[in-house]
Amino acid sequence: MQRRGFLARGAALARTSPLRARSGKTKAEARSEWSVRTGRDVVYARSGGTCEVRVLGVCEGLAAEWQHRKARAQGGEWNPANGLHVCSACHRWIHHNPAEATAAGWTVPRDQDPAAVPVEDYPNWGRVLLDDHGVIHIVQKGQTT
Ligand SMILES: [Zn+2]
């Protein structure tokens, strides 16, 4: 870059290239950019291949399936905050025990954002929020951000 002398006080830097176009996407639109593959890559790295639900007396340990916290039919996407890597037995348990699964944060109602709904007892971590980067955030009771 060529230097062209000092800027006068209060002068703005001249922009030589346009700002990257802001797409103006809503959160939902940004989430929909996740594919099965890209979402799974992040979630499976987060889980390390171990079930992220671990229902006592049910869990098989090894994760093998993706649990949509918000179902696809309810607008849920493949973004990592919406996924849990689960074993087949916990996955079945979740679908057979919808009220308990919702209370645990393993399923998320249509009108709520999975990134803002805690998982109440994530293995080894306790109460956490999941984000779309594969990061696990420990949160206190009543805290949602
Ligand atoms: Zn399990």
Is 12 contained in some domain?
no
pTM: predicted TM-score of the whole model, two decimal places = 0.77
Is 104 contained in some domain?
yes
Around ion ligand 1, which residues have CB less than 5 A away? 51, 53, 59, 87, 90
Whether 78 and 119 have beta carbons less than 8 Å apart is answered as no
Is 13 contained in some domain?
no
**Tens digits of per-residue pLDDT, 107-141?**
999 999 999 999 999 999 999 999 999 999 999 87
- Measure 94 CA to ligand 1 centroid, in angstroms: 10
**Tens digits of per-residue pLDDT, 46-63?**
999 999 999 999 999 999
pLDDT at 21 over 90: no
Is 24 contained in some domain?
no
Is 145 contained in some domain?
no
| DSSP letter for each residue of 33-94 | T--HHHHHHHHHHHHTTB-SS--TTT--SB--EEEESS-GGGT--S-GGGEEEE-HHHHHHH
- Measure 74 CA to ligand 1 centroid, in angstroms: 23
- Measure 59 CA to ligand 1 centroid, in angstroms: 4
Is 22 contained in some domain?
no
- Measure 106 CA to ligand 1 centroid, in angstroms: 12
Is 52 contained in some domain?
yes
Whether 114 and 82 have beta carbons less than 8 Å apart is answered as yes
The fraction of the chain above a pLDDT of 90, given in percent, is 73
Domain count, the chain: 1
- Residue-number span of the structural domain to which 116 is assigned: 32-138
Is 75 contained in some domain?
yes
